[in-house]
Structure 1
Amino acid sequence: MQAVVYERTGGPEVLTVREVPDPEPGEGALLVDVEAAGVNFRDVYEREGRRPYTATPPAVIGVEGAGTVAGTGERVAWLDVRGSYATRVAAPRDKVVPVPDGVDTDVAAAAMLQGCTAQYLVSESYPVAEGDWVVVHAGAGGVGLLLTQLVRARGGHVLATTSTGEKAELARAAGADEVVVGYEGFPERVRELSGGVGAAVVYDGVGRTTFAAGLTALRPTGRMILYGAASGQPEPLELHSLAGHGSLYVQRPTLATYTRTPELLRTLAGAVLDHVAAGRLDVRIGGRRPLAQAREAHEDLEARRTTGKLLLLP
């Protein structure tokens, strides 16, 4: 089979497509023909050698995808199976979920990691209530577009931030009530829109660029939820400052916590795929590239040239 392998030779990290032996599924695992693999920042971190993501190179990269079980034709999707940038993967049965009728396989791949992230953010990290004003940073990104739709479905209002005017239009099309381009002034704007109260929650996947200002955008007892750090980690936080901003809460969640058992994974992913099947959640696929262009896909992601989900097609 073909697979994208990362290795280090003393210089920059290298991604190459190679012929490698088919994986051999052990007990409780399935051999799956991969139809689409998701490209994520955690894959970039793995390529760069950041812990805890990294397997010992050379290794096949990627963890998210969807495909068909060899021999049975069952369609399944996953978000935590190593070696997913490949034509075949050995997937533990308890780490895959069925793809329902009415959901294309590549859409299922695109919905898994980002969709499950958006779902736990709006239902667990902070359960959005009707009338809440919410800040969604990187509103045209894969998580941002899904977050906006899910917040609106729960009766909330969204102020999204984006880096360009073109991305602002995508955020508006997803349902954002207001969009701030360039991140400047979003705390003042959300306070205006909320009648001086402030945001119930800030969903921040950007990090250093937006975190400090986000604390000033929150209403008393509001929640700052940092689920990613595309611009780098925020400056250290003095906990006593949360009192002065209005007894705020801060969370740094991870998807692994909310999918730590097979039952939690099936419930979370099932909710996302049911939303897609019912037409309540539009999953934007921003680009499809062949496996041989995995490095270019990473470069697009790192340069923030992407909107929605980027897929690799074996």
Structure 2
Amino acid sequence: MQALQFSTTGTLDSLQLRELPTPLPAANEVLVEVRATGLNPSDVKNVLGRFPYTTTPRIPGRDFAGVVVDGPPELLGKAVWGGTGKGFGFSRDGCHAQYVVVPTTAVAAIPESLSFAQAAMCGVPFITALDALERSQVHAGTRLLIIGAGAVAQATQALANARGATVAMATRRAEVAQALQAQGVRAFQLQAAEQLPEQARDYFQQHAPEVIVDTTGYWLSAAINTVDSFGRIALIAAPVDGWVSVSALNLYRRGGSIIGVNSLLHSLDDCARMLERIGAAFAVGMAAPSGFIELPLSAAVAAYHKVSAGSSEKIVLIP
């Protein structure tokens, strides 16, 4: 089979499209023919050596959608999605390949409303978003501010709306805020950090947000000054050096809490169960992912370089 593989970390130079043996599933596993696989920023960071638990040689890739071609009879021919979980693409081979082997319990049925490419876009962003919403206790009526406008931010907005939360998004770039507004999303352009409390209150009828999801990692200090009493801040990213200066005084005076969200802490089985819940939201009308480009697996190395250079394009690889 054709597969991406890297032999060393720290640079993209060792990432190549190679011909490798098709893996064989064990008794408790399935072999999935990959029809589409998402390219996440974490896939690129993985090859660049940002994850200390990565072992090589390794096939990267965290999210897939495809068809079961070997495994239990009841799953043969089924359209499934999966991935994202602990070790997948890091310490065990991932899915940027024509075939992938995963445990039988690590796949879920794809909702009929999604294409393979759309399903392959959902894993990391939507599982991260669901984890953030669950652990920060977002429900109907919760005032939620999402900082950022990338894939995780958009997934958080979609799932929060499905729950009936009151949602606003904040982004640094004026044109991005305007594009979101044109789609009917309540959004505003971030100004200076000290202005965030006032900006947020303007969007929640002079109330502070009860929950803030910071998908950038750079607005934690401002979020602490903005969130309501007993509020929750979900953090899914950090600067490269990992450090943010915050006021512990402001946090405890608010009775606030900071929640770290990391999809790599969940098993493949856990993520499959989360995909089932996400699929249920799509089944009742949540909008399908859009705005991505599809590239053949033969263009994957160039796509990795493009993302590494700062491109924000959403990319789906088609083996």
User: TM-score by structure 2 length?
Assistant: 0.85
SS in 2 for 1:7: coil
Match of 2:294 in 1: 288
- Tell me how far 1:297 sits from its aligned partner: 2.6
Q: Which runs of 5+ in 1 are unaligned?
A: none
Specify the alignment match of 1:301 in structure 2: 307
User: Whole-Å Cα distance in 1 between the matches of residues 229 and 189 of structure 2?
Assistant: 22
Deviation, structure 1 residue 223: 0.9
1:70 is paired with a residue whose SS is strand
Q: Distance in 2 between matches of 1:83 and 1:129?
A: 34
Tell me whether 68-77 or 30-39 shows the greater mean CA deviation.
Answer: 68-77
1:176-187, aligned counterparts within 5 Å? 176-181=185-190, 185-187=195-197
* Structure 1 residue aligned with 2:144: 134
In structure 2, the residue matched to 1:103 is 114
Which 10-residue stretch deviates more, 107-116 or 45-54? 45-54
In 2: Cα distance, 1:181 partner to 1:19 partner: 47
- Aligned residue type for 1:151: A
* RMSD between superposed Cα atoms in Å: 2.6
Deviation at 1:196, TM superposition (A): 3.9
The question of whether the paired residues in 2 share the 8 Å contact of 1:33 and 1:70 is answered with: yes
Matched, 1:147 2:156: yes
1:109 maps to a residue whose letter is A
Aligned-residue sequence identity (percent) comes to 26
Q: Residues 68-83 of structure 1 correspond to what in structure 2 (within 5 A)?
A: 68-70=67-69, 72-79=76-83, 80=85, 81=88, 82-83=93-94
Q: Is the 8 A contact 1:60 1:83 kept in 2?
A: yes
- Give the C-alpha shift of residue 304 in structure 1: 4.6
The alignment status of 1:311 with 2:316, answered yes or no, reads yes
Amino acid in the other structure paired with 2:81: A
**1:225-265: CA deviations, max 9, x gaps?**
10123666342556444224x121111122244x4473x43
Structure 1 residues 211-290: aligned runs within 5 Å: 211-229=220-238, 233-235=242-244, 237=246, 239-244=248-253, 246-257=254-265, 259-260=266-267, 262=269, 264-290=270-296
Give the whole-Å Cα distance in 1 for the aligned partners of 2:9 and 2:277. 43
Count how many residue pairs are aligned between Structure 1 and Structure 2: 306
Distance 1:310 1:219 in 2: 37
Q: Extract unaligned runs of 5+ from structure 2.
A: 71-75
Q: If the length of structure 1 is used for normalisation, what is the TM-score?
A: 0.86
Determine the C-alpha separation between the residues in 1 that align with 2:142 and 2:136: 11
Change (3 A) 1:42 1:189: same
| Secondary structure class of the residue paired with 1:60 | coil
Matches of 2:54 and 2:224, distance apart in 1: 32
2:188 partner SS: strand
How does 1:199-210 map onto structure 2 within 5 Å?
Answer: 199-207=209-217, 209-210=218-219
